[in-house]
């Protein structure tokens, strides 16, 4: 996964966008672990609902926002990626304070990536 942007908006949300690509030699099944293990999110099917951002300075973790029906505000419906296939993805979080300009992005099965926030 490659992060392409992390933008804070005026409504108080942080949207992290990127591309999930299959660089392998065969069709890849998108791991179920990426959706996290919260019961509300599990019911919504494949997603990136397990993503979090961490404000290390404030010692606070932010989880993917949910709509009023408990569905994660993130790319959903991910199941497989063909060889060389890439899909644009997004995840929306509560925005950390404006004084926070860098956060740690965490997605199950991936290492933590430090990303800069714009906006």
pLDDT of the residue at 27: 95
E strand or H helix at 103 = strand 102-106
Indicate if the pLDDT at residue 36 is higher than 70: no
Instruction: Give the pLDDT confidence of 70-103 residue by residue, as tens digits.
Output: 888 999 888 899 999 999 999 999 999 999 999 9
Angstrom distance (rounded) from CA 33 to CA 13: 24
User: Within a 13 Å sphere around the CA of 104, how many CA atoms are in the beta-carbon half?
Assistant: 14
Angstrom distance (rounded) from CA 66 to CA 50: 12
Token readout for 69 is: 């029906």
- Confidence bin at 23 (pLDDT 50/70/90): very high
């Amino acid at each position: 996964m490659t992060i392409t942007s992390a933008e804070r908006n005026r409504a108080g949300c942080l949207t992290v966008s990127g591309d999930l690509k299959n660089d392998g030699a065969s069709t890849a099944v998108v791991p179920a672990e990426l959706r996290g293990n919260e019961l509300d999110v599990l019911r919504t099917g494949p997603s990136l609902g397990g993503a979090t951002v961490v404000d290390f300075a404030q010692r606070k973790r932010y989880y993917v926002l949910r709509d009023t029906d408990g569905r994660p505000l993130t790319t959903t419906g991910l199941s497989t990626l063909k060889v060389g296939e890439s899909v644009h993805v997004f995840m929306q979080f509560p925005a950390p304070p404006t004084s926070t300009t860098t956060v740690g992005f965490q997605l199950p099965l991936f290492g933590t990536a430090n990303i800069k926030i714009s906006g």
